Amino acid sequence: MEQASLATKTSSNVIRCRAAVAWTTNAPLSIEEVEVDPPKAGEVRVKIIASGICGTDNHTLEGKMKTPFPVILGHEGAGVVESVGPGVTTVKPGDKVLMFPLPECRECFYCLYPKGNFCEKENILSPTGLMLDGTSRFTCRGKKIYNIMGTSTFTEYTVVHEIAVAKIEAAAPMDTVCIMSCAVPTGFGAVFNTAQVTPGSSCVVFGLGGIGSAIVMACKASGACRIIGVDINEEKFPRARALGVTDCLNPNKLKKPVQEVVKEMTGVGVDFAFEAIGLIETMVAALKSCNRSYGVCVIMGVAPTGSQLSFDPLVLLPGRTLKSSVLGGYKTRDDIPKLVTDYVQKKINIDPLITHRLPFPKINEGFRLLQEGKCIRCVLSMRP
């Protein structure tokens, strides 16, 4: 690694360290020295060990998702607790943790209800870029820097709410399980929780990136007998086939709309369709690809802020179901550490999802790999 860590503690207990600041949309991230304030009540300061780059970070950088700038992106992180604020009881300094873009407060209606996971303390639908008390913990060159979904992991240190952090096994390899903060539960949960894919079923997955690949793995694990993968980047096809895709389609090379081709291939359309791109047109195509009587379509892609999904309601009338979820419907603090344990015990394998690893200062190269469709997940390592 080219540069030693800047991290030092000062008397006021503000940490100065390196972070990748997005000053504006559609510009390279800038590695800067930032100040990270100490955690307030109910907050945890974490030393980040590794972080994946997610399609959502890229959507945000491209200005498709409205969130305040300047911002420190990243929400797929694994780290070690450095210090905790007053009242924090569930984690302590030295614990290995994951931090999630969706909290689990364990008090609100949704957290107490057995189904679903969309905690009322979420900061996803109308992101403020701030902590729950309305303030920021980051400054850079005298300016306030916002967070993303209460996380921000493209930094050596971050501050998150206790309700969005969970202790994980000490044996967990941090530079792999970091993708269990987003990509893995999102894809696995879309299949196991939201769609509930059944053995022998047929599936189509639109988008064969990080989320789509995790969906493919879970469809295969659920016993789906046919898994059609759809992507405009054919470089994604060999890896997708290795994960379980049985047929690959490039919509740009088809003479008919992709949903018609899927229908012809399967007779009536698939049992389960997944959208993991984030475009309105592919969401509608996914919906129309599933069989009209009992097909289930799950949208995991996040469309640009303010867009409208429109289709003839007669598409649904015969019985199709249209669903969605965040982080695959997993209650983040309760369920995701168990997935980490399953990985450590070799009950599940997530290794094929990580195709590239880079040192943190090369973060712009990581974004380029994602934008050019060269990687599935690229993990940044913060270790000096």
Residues lying near ligand PAD in the complex (CB under 6 A) are found at 54-56, 59, 182, 186, 206-212, 230-233, 236, 251, 276-279, 282, 300-302, 326-327, 370, 373
Strand pairing category for 272-275 and 43-52: unpaired
Instruction: Provide the angle, in degrees to the nearest 10, between the axes of the packed helices 280-289 and 258-266.
Output: 20
Please identify which residue in the block is written with the tokens 């982080």: 327
Judged by DSSP in three states, 3 sits in coil
Q: Least distance in Å: CB of 212 to ligand PAD?
A: 6
Q: Which is nearer to ligand PAD, 251 or 361 (CB)?
A: 251
Q: Which stretch binds Zn ion (CB under 5 A): 22-30, 32-40, 48-56, 357-365?
A: 48-56
Answer for the pair 231, 250: CB distance below 8 angstroms, yes or no.
yes
Q: Six-digit token pair at 76?
A: 């797929």
Q: Which of 105, 160, 179, 182 binds Zn ion (CB under 5 A)?
A: 182
Q: Check: CB of residue 340 under 8 Å from CB of residue 177.
A: yes
Of 76 and 162, which has the nearer Cβ to Zn ion?
76
Interface pattern 2-41 for Zn ion (x via CB under 5 A): ----------------------------------------
Residues in CB range of 344: below 8 A, 6 or more apart? 169, 171, 172
Q: Residue 347: which residues within 8 A CB-CB, separation 6 or more?
A: none
153 is a contact residue toward Zn ion (CB under 5 A): no
Q: Least distance in Å: CB of 257 to ligand PAD?
A: 12
Question: Which CB, 181 or 282, lies closer to Zn ion?
Answer: 181
Report the alpha-carbon angle 26-31-36, nearest 5: 110
**284 contacts which partner out of Zn ion, ligand PAD, none, CB within 5 to 8 A by kind?**
none
Closest distance of CB 251 from ligand PAD, Å? 6
Query: 339 Cβ partners below 8 Å, 6+ apart?
Result: 180, 184, 185, 188, 330, 348
Binding at 295: pick from Zn ion, ligand PAD, none (beta carbon under 5-8 Å per type)? none
- The residue among 137 and 236 lying less far from ligand PAD, judged by its C-beta, is 236
Contact pick of 54, 205, 217, 375 for Zn ion (by CB under 5 A): 54
Please give the residue ranges that form the binding site for Zn ion (CB under 5 A): 54, 56, 182
